[in-house]
Amino acid sequence: MKWVDSRGFEVEALVLGNHPWLRVRRGHEYVAYYTDVTELSRHLDLADLVVTD
């Protein structure tokens, strides 16, 4: 599943091995990987995210 915000950041939910990750990128550049939503919310406004796909 993917989400985007008004600033152009894209968040994607992934499972790598047995571990869930939230991958953040802007354009073609990867910005960060997060292990949980709480950590992600420190850097992005979750209320600004909308589902895309």
| Range list of β-strands (E), the chain | 2-4, 9-16, 19-26, 29-34, 50-52
pLDDT of residue 53: 75
pTM here? 0.86
Q: Is the pLDDT of residue 6 over 80?
A: yes
Domain boundaries, the chain: 2-52
Measured in whole angstroms, the distance separating CA 42 from the mean position of its chain's CA atoms is 12
Using alpha carbons only, give the angle 48, 29, 36 rounded to the nearest 5 degrees: 50
Largest CA distance in the chain: 31
**How many percent of the chain have pLDDT more than 70?**
100
